[in-house]
C-alpha cells in the first residue's frame, strides 16, 4: 500500500507530532489523500486556508476559477474523467451558496467531490454575521454527507471521513464547513489517518450468492435477454467485467447517457443509447425482451418513460450497489445487491455462452429504420443548412473516437451523445440527472486537468455557453487546452423544440441573442473562429483540434432542427417516434 503513495503523501502520513493550524492540517490532509488539484475561490472566511496554501503551492495546484459554480463543475469534470475525487475551496455565504447547483448535480450523478467552505467564527454562528449562511442546512438534501467543524482538533478525522464517504460505495458530494477560528487554531497533529470504516455506513451491501444463481438461471432460460447499463459500471471500474459478461452471454446491451463510454460505442453488442432521445431499437425492444438486466443504473424517468408501460412483459434483474435503488422505480424480479465489480464476474461464471441471432437481428432492423429516417439526414444532410449531427460526425472522423466529450444541456447534448464515437471509458462527461446548463465549460476545464493527455472537447449550445462563459478567464490564466465547440442555433433549442411540438409553435422567450463569441474569446486571448458553411467545417474542426492550446469554434447550425427519435413525455418507451410527423 505504502509503495503506491507519492512522496508528499508519505510525508503527510508520517507520525511526528507538531503544532499546526487547522488550515495547515486541511492541506496536509489533502496531500495525504493524494489530492493534487483544487478548484477554488477565496474570501474572508476561508482566508486562513488560503494563507496556508501560499506555502504549499509546490505540492497543491490551485485553480482560481471565476465563479464558485465553475469551481464545483470543474471538480466534477475532474472527477468524472479521472475517477478521483474532485476538491473545491469556497468562502462562506455567497461563495458557499454558489456551489449549490454543482452539489445538486454531483449528488444526482453520483460524483465524488469534497467541498471545503469557510464559515464565520464559531461564536458568530446564528447571529446573521457578515457572510454567514447556514451552509449545512442549505446543502443537506444535496450532499451525501456534510459536517461543520468548529474546532481544529476535528479537522483531520473529519476530512478523512469526507474523502472516504465521497469516494466509497455510491459516490457523492460532501461539504465540510470550517469556521474561521478552527482554521486559525493551533493543535497538535501527529499524522493523517485515512478512514476506511464508519460503523453506521455500509458502502457496499453483502453479495448474496443465491440471487446471483437465480439471476443466472433467468438469463440462461431467456430467449430475448437485454442488458441496460448505467454509470455504475464506470464508477465501479467494472468495464472489463461488464464486457466479459455481455460477451460470454452474447447479450445485447444499451447504455444510459451516464453509462455511455463504459464499453466502446462501436462494440458489436452495444446497441445504443436508452432514453428520451436515445436510439430507436433499445427503447422499442425494452418492451419486447423477456429478461431485462439492469446494471448500475437507476431507471430514471427519462429512461423509462411512462412506468406503467415500461417492460411489463419482462422479468427484471437489477444489479446495484445502492439498496435504495432496488424496486424504487421498477420492481426487480431478482435483485442483485452489490458492487458490480464483484457481482458481474460471479454472474458471468454461471451464464452459458450464447448468441441470439434472431433477437440481435431485431436490433439491426430497428437500427436500419432509424438510420434511414433520422441518422442519415442528420449526419449527411442534403440541404445547405448545417446540422449538429454532421459536426459531431466530423469530430468523430478527426478524433477517431479518442476524445473526451463534455457536453452542456440541450439539443447539442443529445446529438453529441447520440452520435459521438468513444473508444475508452470516462469519455462522456455530461450533466445527466440534473441537466445543468452551464456545466460544460467549467467541467471541461476540470476534465483537462484530470486527464492532461486527453483531447477534451466541450460541446455547448449558444444558450448554455452564456451561463458560465466567465470561465474563459480561468482558461486564459491557467491554460488548459480545452477545445470549445459552440453549436449555435440562435435558439434555446431544446425548449424551442418542445414549444414547436407540444405548444403549437408558440415560441415564448427562446430566441436568445448572443454576443460575438469569437470576439469574446479573443478578449480572453483565446483564439477562435466562426463558420457557417459546410465547406469550411472539416478544416475548421481540424484547426481547432490541432491548435496548440485552447480554441473556440462556433458553428452556425440550422435554427429549427429537431432531435429525434423521441419518447414524448408521458408516453411509453415503445411509443418512441422517429419524426415530428409521428408526434
Ligand X SMILES: Cc1ncc(C[n+]2csc(CCOP(=O)(O)OP(=O)(O)O)c2C)c(N)n1
Catalytic residue set? 68, 130-131, 180, 494
39/145 with CB nearer another protein: 145
State the DSSP string of 130-169: TT---HHHHHGGG-SEEEEE-SGGGHHHHHHHHHHHHHSS
* Cell numbers linked to 119: 464559515
3-class DSSP state of 276: coil
Q: List the interface residues with another protein, window 135-194 (CB under 8 A).
A: 136-137, 140-141, 144-148, 165
Taking residue 141's Cβ as centre, other Cβ atoms within 10 Å add up to: 9
Nearest-approach distance from CB 559 to ligand X, in angstroms: 9
Nearest-approach distance from CB 436 to ligand X, in angstroms: 6
- What is the total count of residues that contact another protein (CB under 8 A)? 29
99 binds, among ligand X, another protein, none (CB under 5 to 8 A by kind): none
From the list 28, 90, 103, the residue with the least C-alpha distance to 63 is 90
By CB under 8 A, is residue 205 in contact with another protein? Answer: yes
By CB under 8 A, is residue 335 in contact with another protein? Answer: yes
By CB under 8 A, is residue 1 in contact with another protein? Answer: no
100/360 with CB nearer ligand X: 100
By CB under 8 A, is residue 308 in contact with another protein? Answer: no
Cα separations (Å) of 50 from 177, 318, 445, 461, 546? 15, 46, 22, 35, 37
Pairing of strands 334-337, 404-407: unpaired
Residue with cell 475508452: 424
Nearest-approach distance from CB 330 to another protein, in angstroms: 12
Among 322, 342, 527, 536, binds another protein (CB under 8 A): 322
206 binds, among another protein, ligand X, none (CB under 5 to 8 A by kind): another protein
Nearest-approach distance from CB 494 to ligand X, in angstroms: 4
492 binds, among ligand X, another protein, none (CB under 5 to 8 A by kind): ligand X
State the DSSP string of 278-311: S-HHHHHHHTT-SEEEEES----HHHHBSGGGSS
From the list 167, 156, 191, the residue with the least C-alpha distance to 114 is 167
State the binding string over 117-136 for another protein (x if CB under 8 A, else -): -------------------x
494 binds, among another protein, ligand X, none (CB under 5 to 8 A by kind): ligand X
By CB under 8 A, is residue 202 in contact with another protein? Answer: yes
From the list 51, 68, 50, 45, the residue with the least C-alpha distance to 139 is 68
Q: Cα separation of 490 and 561, whole Å?
A: 11
Q: Cα separation of 31 and 307, whole Å?
A: 46
Nearest-approach distance from CB 207 to another protein, in angstroms: 10
473 binds, among another protein, ligand X, none (CB under 5 to 8 A by kind): none
Contact 537, 531 (CB under 8 A): yes
Residue with cell 452542456: 408
Nearest-approach distance from CB 201 to another protein, in angstroms: 5
136 binds, among another protein, ligand X, none (CB under 5 to 8 A by kind): another protein
112/249 with CB nearer another protein: 112
Pairing of strands 37-40, 86-90: parallel
Among 50, 78, 337, 524, binds another protein (CB under 8 A): 337
Q: What is the 3-state secondary structure (H, E, C) of 415-441?
A: HHHHHCCCCCCCCEEECCCCCCCCCHH
Nearest-approach distance from CB 304 to another protein, in angstroms: 16
DSSP state of 409: S
DSSP state of 371: I
199/506 with CB nearer another protein: 199
352 binds, among another protein, ligand X, none (CB under 5 to 8 A by kind): none
Cα separations (Å) of 33 from 10, 51, 56, 333, 548? 10, 20, 15, 40, 32
123/202 with CB nearer another protein: 202
Q: Please list the helix, strand and coil fractions of the chain in percent, rounded to the nearest 5, in that order.
A: 45, 20, 40
- What is the total count of residues that contact ligand X (CB under 6 A)? 20
Contact 103, 54 (CB under 8 A): no
Cα separations (Å) of 583 from 328, 365, 411, 578? 30, 22, 17, 9
99/263 with CB nearer ligand X: 99
418-441 core/surface letters (b: 16 or more CB in 10 A; e: else): bbbbbbebbbbbbbbbbbbbbbbb
491 binds, among ligand X, another protein, none (CB under 5 to 8 A by kind): ligand X
Q: List the interface residues with ligand X, window 457-496 (CB under 6 A).
A: 461-464, 487, 489, 491-495
Q: How many alpha carbons fall within 13 Å on the CB side of residue 262?
A: 35
Q: Is the peptide bond before 506 cis (omega within 30 degrees of 0)?
A: no
43/464 with CB nearer ligand X: 464
16/197 with CB nearer another protein: 197
Q: Cα separation of 540 and 534, whole Å?
A: 10
19/141 with CB nearer another protein: 141
Nearest-approach distance from CB 469 to ligand X, in angstroms: 11
Stretch of 230-238, 260-268, 285-293, 429-437 contacting ligand X, by CB under 6 A = 429-437
Nearest-approach distance from CB 123 to another protein, in angstroms: 17
93 binds, among another protein, ligand X, none (CB under 5 to 8 A by kind): none
Nearest-approach distance from CB 434 to ligand X, in angstroms: 8
411 binds, among another protein, ligand X, none (CB under 5 to 8 A by kind): ligand X
Q: Cα separation of 146 and 162, whole Å?
A: 8
Q: List the interface residues with ligand X, window 387-416 (CB under 6 A).
A: 408-412
Q: Cα separation of 120 and 480, whole Å?
A: 34
283/466 with CB nearer ligand X: 466
Q: Which residues bind another protein (CB under 8 A)?
A: 136-137, 140-141, 144-148, 165, 196-202, 205-206, 208, 210-211, 322-324, 327-328, 335, 337
Q: Which residues bind ligand X (CB under 6 A)?
A: 408-412, 435-438, 461-464, 487, 489, 491-495
Amino acid at each position: 500500500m505504502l509503495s503506491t503513495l507519492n512522496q508528499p503523501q508519505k510525508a503527510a502520513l508520517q507520525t511526528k507530532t507538531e503544532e499546526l493550524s487547522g488550515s495547515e492540517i486541511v492541506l496536509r490532509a489533502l496531500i495525504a489523500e493524494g489530492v493534487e488539484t483544487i478548484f477554488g475561490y477565496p474570501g474572508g472566511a476561508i482566508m486562513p486556508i488560503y494563507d496556508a496554501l501560499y506555502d504549499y503551492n509546490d505540492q497543491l495546484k490551485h485553480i482560481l476559477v471565476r465563479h464558485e459554480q465553475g469551481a464545483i463543475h470543474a471538480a466534477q469534470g475532474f472527477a468524472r474523467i479521472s475517477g478521483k475525487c474532485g476538491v473545491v475551496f469556497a468562502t462562506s455565504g455567497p461563495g458557499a451558496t454558489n456551489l449549490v447547483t454543482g452539489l445538486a448535480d454531483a449528488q444526482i450523478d453520483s460524483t465524488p467531490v469534497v467541498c471545503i467552505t469557510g464559515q464565520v467564527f464559531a461564536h458568530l454562528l446564528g447571529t446573521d454575521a457578515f457572510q454567514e449562511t447556514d451552509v449545512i442546512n442549505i446543502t443537506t438534501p444535496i450532499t451525501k454527507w456534510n459536517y461543520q467543524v468548529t474546532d481544529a482538533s476535528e479537522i483531520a478525522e473529519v476530512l478523512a471521513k469526507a474523502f472516504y464517504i465521497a469516494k466509497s460505495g455510491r459516490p457523492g458530494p460532501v461539504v465540510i464547513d470550517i469556521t474561521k477560528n478552527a482554521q486559525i487554531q493551533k493543535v497538535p497533529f501527529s499524522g493523517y489517518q485515512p478512514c476506511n470504516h464508519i460503523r453506521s455506513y455500509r458502502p457496499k451491501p453483502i453479495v448474496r450468492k443465491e440471487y446471483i444463481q437465480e439471476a443466472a438461471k433467468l438469463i440462461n432460460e431467456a430467449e430475448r435477454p437485454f442488458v441496460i447499463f448505467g454509470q455504475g459500471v464506470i464508477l465501479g471500474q467494472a468495464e472489463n467485467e461488464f464486457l466479459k459478461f455481455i460477451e460470454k452471454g452474447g447479450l445485447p446491451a444499451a447504455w444510459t447517457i451516464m453509462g455511455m463510454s463504459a464499453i466502446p460505442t462501436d462494440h458489436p453488442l452495444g446497441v445504443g443509447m436508452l432514453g428520451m432521445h436515445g436510439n430507436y431499437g433499445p427503447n422499442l425492444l425494452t418492451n419486447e425482451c423477456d429478461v431485462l438486466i439492469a446494471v448500475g443504473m437507476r431507471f430514471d424517468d427519462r429512461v423509462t418513460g411512462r412506468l406503467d408501460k415500461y417492460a411489463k412483459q419482462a422479468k427484471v434483474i437489477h444489479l446495484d450497489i445502492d439498496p435504495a435503488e432496488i424496486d424504487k422505480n421498477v420492481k426487480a424480479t431478482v435483485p442483485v445487491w452489490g458492487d458490480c465489480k464483484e457481482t458481474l464476474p460471479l454472474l458471468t461464471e454461471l451464464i452459458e455462452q450464447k448468441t441470439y441471432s434472431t433477437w440481435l437481428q431485431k436490433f439491426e432492423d430497428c437500427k436500419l429504420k432509424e438510420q434511414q429516417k433520422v441518422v442519415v439526414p442528420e449526419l449527411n444532410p442534403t440541404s445547405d443548412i448545417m446540422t449538429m449531427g454532421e459536426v459531431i460526425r466530423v469530430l468523430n472522423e478527426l478524433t477517431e473516437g479518442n476524445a473526451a466529450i463534455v457536453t452542456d444541456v440541450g439539443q447539442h447534448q443529445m446529438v453529441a451523445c447520440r452520435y459521438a464515437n468513444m473508444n475508452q471509458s470516462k469519455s462522456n462527461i455530461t450533466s445527466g440527472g440534473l441537466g445543468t446548463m452551464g456545466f460544460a465549460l467549467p467541467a471541461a476545464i476540470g476534465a483537462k486537468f484530470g486527464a492532461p493527455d486527453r483531447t477534451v472537447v466541450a460541446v455547448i449550445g449558444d444558450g448554455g455557453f452564456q451561463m458560465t462563459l466567465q470561465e474563459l478567464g480561468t482558461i486564459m490564466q491557467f491554460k488548459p487546452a480545452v477545445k470549445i465547440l459552440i453549436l449555435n442555433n440562435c435558439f434555446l433549442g431544446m425548449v424551442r423544440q418542445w414549444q414547436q411540438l407540444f405548444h403549437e409553435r408558440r415560441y415564448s422567450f427562446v430566441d436568445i441573442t448572443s454576443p460575438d463569441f469569437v470576439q469574446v474569446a479573443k478578449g480572453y486571448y483565446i483564439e477562435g473562429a466562426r463558420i457557417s458553411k459546410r465547406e469550411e467545417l472539416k478544416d475548421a474542426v481540424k484547426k481547432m483540434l490541432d491548435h496548440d492550446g485552447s480554441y473556440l469554434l462556433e458553428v452556425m447550425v440550422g435554427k429549427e432542427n429537431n432531435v429525434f427519435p423521441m419518447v414524448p413525455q408521458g408516453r411509453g418507451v415503445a411509443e418512441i417516434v422517429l419524426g415530428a410527423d409521428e408526434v
